[in-house]
Amino acid sequence: MAENNIESVNRDKAKDSDADTDGNSNSTAVASAGAPEDEPADFDKAMIASGFGRFNLILLIMAIPATCANMFESSTMSYILPIAECDLHLTLTDKGILNACAYAGMIISAIPWGYLADTKGRRKVLVYGYLLTSICVFGSSLSQNFIMLVTFKFLGGLIVNGPAAVLFTYLTEMHGPKHRSHVLMVVGMITSASTLLLPLLAWATFPRDWDFVFFGSLNIHNWQIFLFICGLPSLISGLIMCFMPESPRFLMAQGRNAEALLVLQKIYQINTGKPKDTYPIKTLVMEVPSRDAQVDEVIYTIEEKPPVKAATKRPSRTLLESLRAGMQQMKPMFHKPLLRLSMHCYTMQFCIFLGMNTIRLWLPQLFASMANYEAAHANDDDSASMCTILEYSVNKTAETLTDYNNACSEPQTISMDMYINNIIVSACGFAGYFFAGAIIRMAGAKRLLTYGLFISGVLGLALYWSINSISTIIISSAFVTVAGIAVSSLLGAVVALFPTQLRSLVVATAMMCGRLGALSGNLLFPVLIQIGCVPPFVMVASVMLLAGVLSIFIPNPTKAAFS
């Protein structure tokens, strides 16, 4: 749930400044609000004039498969680990690498994708990003060994990080200030729902006896069909984006006002059903020196394209000049008080994601081991305590590697309890999202952040004393839900505590630190399991409690000095 919760925290802050959402100054909004219709309009006024209707509904429908694609890429491996163990000869370390490799790709590609989105356009990143992601997912579904699967999952994380981040920018830039916060809330609901959809897909796929051999050597199993199905949202999103226009906000920022106006006119026509020439805005504010599209530059509108003039060409900044401008904007981040505050937030994000995503991504494996253990000891009085389950899982994996023929002589079957348990945990996280906003408003972001982290730390340690499957479900559901709300509270505090022009940078860096934490946790967890039962839960509890202690020293967002 929390991997994509960044979109949910801004809905309560969207009213404080339109610049917080799209990253651009709204200084012209006031000046143009009461201007005559024939005067140049700024972006917000032009967007409001285009209306809200069918086109916006199309955008939200497009966001459903796109958001599912983003969520699936970082979570699918956790569901196939217990099913593909025999087919891929997986060790516990291999399982940790599979859970972590997508995060490694996301960390590496964060900055390049941001540069491409700001220079090449939102639409191009979304089209090529999702289509390439689908290729990587389909490639992973054909994997015949561990190396092949890791390679495709790493490439998938490397690629999906771009469209996943740009999607929210694109959606907010296609709406006026009145609807931006509501759109982000809807996308947040879709994100939470996608976490519930994943175990449902696993439930529908894994029990099927689907085993095929293509071309005499290409073995296909049910877990590969599951991965193939999870790649369909990426393909659908990329194909839909082929028919969508470029963001008029981006076009205006590039000085391509003629193209931006055509996009706005078409949106107006789709929303209102009126002719495009009745669109009330005739000219747009010149944010940068105007230019026409270059001869080799594709124009992304829906239908018409203005004539191309090769004569005028605005000189573009060199890479060195762009880097200097970016460093100048980031300069305040390296001085007091922002440096200390940002490092504080980055450390907390690292700790929270390390603890939360380690448990979240290993739960399917733990529930599968629990279901197998209970099935094998149905006539015994032994309780399925957490330590018993971990010991059973370690021994079972070791047996698979040392005595493969006997351990894997029969097809791998998982009890229905494994799927039901994962659905319960996901449903609790989904429900927690709906209450997160109200709870944050009632209790306050800082108080909820501190209490939530301390409670998460206690729950993480309490998993060690879990004595049966029911207690494990209750504790893990509470842990994932409370930790997810804590992430929302932290990102909400970041939005309030940092200046407008630095918020996007701080949130992006915080998310990168969070992914680094998730990567570290999933690599460490299998190593600690083999050492003993206590270490993995001590690791999870200690990082959550450390984040709780650090949260005490975070300034109260309601009394933020920066706005």
Helix (H, G, I), strand (E, B) or coil at 41: strand
Is there a single domain that holds both residue 308 and residue 343? Answer: no
Residue type at 134?
A: S
- Rounded Cα distance between 158 and 110, Å, is 8
Closest CA to 477 of 196, 221, 226: 196
- Rounded Cα distance between 480 and 318, Å, is 46
Last residue of a domain, one of 328, 356, 376: 328
Burial class (CB in 10 A: 0-12, 13-18, 19+), 538: middle
Domain containing residue 278 = 248-328
213: β partners: 219
Is there a single domain that holds both residue 285 and residue 355? Answer: no
Last residue of a domain, one of 328, 362, 385: 328
Is there a single domain that holds both residue 279 and residue 336? Answer: no
442 found inside a domain = yes
215: β partners: none
- Rounded Cα distance between 148 and 135, Å, is 14
Q: What is the DSSP string of 205-227?
A: HTTS---EEETTTEEE-HHHHHH
Tokens matching residue 113: 């994708």
In eight-state DSSP terms, residue 395 is H
Is there a single domain that holds both residue 401 and residue 277? Answer: no
Is there a single domain that holds both residue 344 and residue 294? Answer: no
Secondary structure element (H or E) that encloses residue 21, with its range: helix 19-22
481 found inside a domain = yes
Is there a single domain that holds both residue 406 and residue 420? Answer: yes
301 found inside a domain = yes
Tokens matching residue 70: 């983003």
CATH classification of the domain holding 522: 1.20.1250.20
Helix (H, G, I), strand (E, B) or coil at 284: strand
- Rounded Cα distance between 369 and 421, Å, is 12
Q: How many domains in the chain?
A: 2
Helix (H, G, I), strand (E, B) or coil at 401: helix
Last residue of a domain, one of 266, 293, 328: 328
Is there a single domain that holds both residue 300 and residue 340? Answer: no
- Rounded Cα distance between 395 and 391, Å, is 6
Tokens matching residue 31: 């000046």
Residue-by-residue pLDDT tens, the chain, 563 positions? 545 454 444 444 444 444 443 434 343 333 334 444 567 888 888 888 888 889 989 998 999 999 999 889 888 998 888 888 888 888 888 999 998 999 998 888 877 877 777 778 888 889 999 999 999 999 999 998 999 999 999 999 999 888 887 888 888 888 888 887 778 778 878 888 888 898 899 888 888 878 788 777 788 888 999 999 999 999 999 999 999 998 888 888 888 888 888 999 999 999 888 888 888 888 888 766 555 555 444 444 444 444 444 334 444 555 565 556 555 555 555 656 677 787 888 898 899 999 998 998 888 888 888 887 877 776 776 667 788 888 888 877 777 777 666 767 666 667 777 788 888 888 888 887 777 767 767 777 778 888 889 999 999 999 888 888 888 889 999 998 888 888 777 766 776 676 655 666 676 777 788 889 999 999 999 889 888 888 999 999 999 999 999 988 887 766 654 44
- Rounded Cα distance between 233 and 548, Å, is 37
Is there a single domain that holds both residue 263 and residue 349? Answer: no
Is there a single domain that holds both residue 540 and residue 392? Answer: yes
148 found inside a domain = no
- Please, are residues 526 and 93 in contact by the beta-carbon 8 Å criterion? yes
Which pLDDT value is given to residue 293? 52
Tokens matching residue 501: 């022009």
Which pLDDT value is given to residue 29? 38
- Rounded Cα distance between 278 and 275, Å, is 6
Is there a single domain that holds both residue 536 and residue 554? Answer: yes
109 found inside a domain = no
Rounded to 10 deg, the angle between the 338-376 and 445-462 helix axes is 30
Q: How far is residue 523 from each of residues 153, 211, 270, 347, 516, measured CA to CA in Å?
A: 15, 31, 49, 18, 11
Closest CA to 477 of 465, 488, 469, 489: 469
Is there a single domain that holds both residue 380 and residue 422? Answer: yes
Closest CA to 487 of 349, 345, 342: 349
185 found inside a domain = no
Cα-based torsion angle of the residue sequence 199, 190, 69, 243 in order, rounded to the nearest 10 degrees = 150
Give the list of residues 6+ apart from residue 419 with CB closer than 8 angstroms, or none: 199, 202, 203, 206
Which pLDDT value is given to residue 390? 84
pTM of the model: 0.78
- Please, are residues 237 and 69 in contact by the beta-carbon 8 Å criterion? yes
Which pLDDT value is given to residue 136? 94
13 found inside a domain = no
- Rounded Cα distance between 428 and 485, Å, is 12
183 found inside a domain = no
Is there a single domain that holds both residue 292 and residue 389? Answer: no
